[in-house]
Amino acid sequence: MALYDATNVRRATGETKRANMPAGSVGRTIVTFARTHLLPGPYRADILLAGRVVWRGFFSIVP
């Protein structure tokens, strides 16, 4: 997982985990991170598999 701010600066990186997903399978994962170092504003979270983005989400931290 990689977390980016509105200026596309990487603010956090999650630990790498192994995944074994046969073709056609569906997987689920939960990602947590400490938001104490994040300022209010919009962010992008990318989940990567083999170095490629497989899921992307957006969220905002409000004061």
* Measured distance CA(4)–CA(10) in Å, rounded: 4
Quick: pLDDT tens for 28-58: 777 777 777 889 999 999 998 888 998 999 9
pTM to 2 decimal places? 0.76
| Domain ranges within the chain, ordered by starting residue | 2-18+28-61
How many other C-beta atoms are found inside a 10 Å radius of the C-beta of residue 3?
A: 19
Which tokens belong to 6? 């509105």
Quick: pLDDT tens for 10-34: 998 887 777 777 888 887 777 777 7
What's 3-24 look like in SS3? EEECCCCEEEECCCCCCCCCCC
* Measured distance CA(5)–CA(26) in Å, rounded: 29
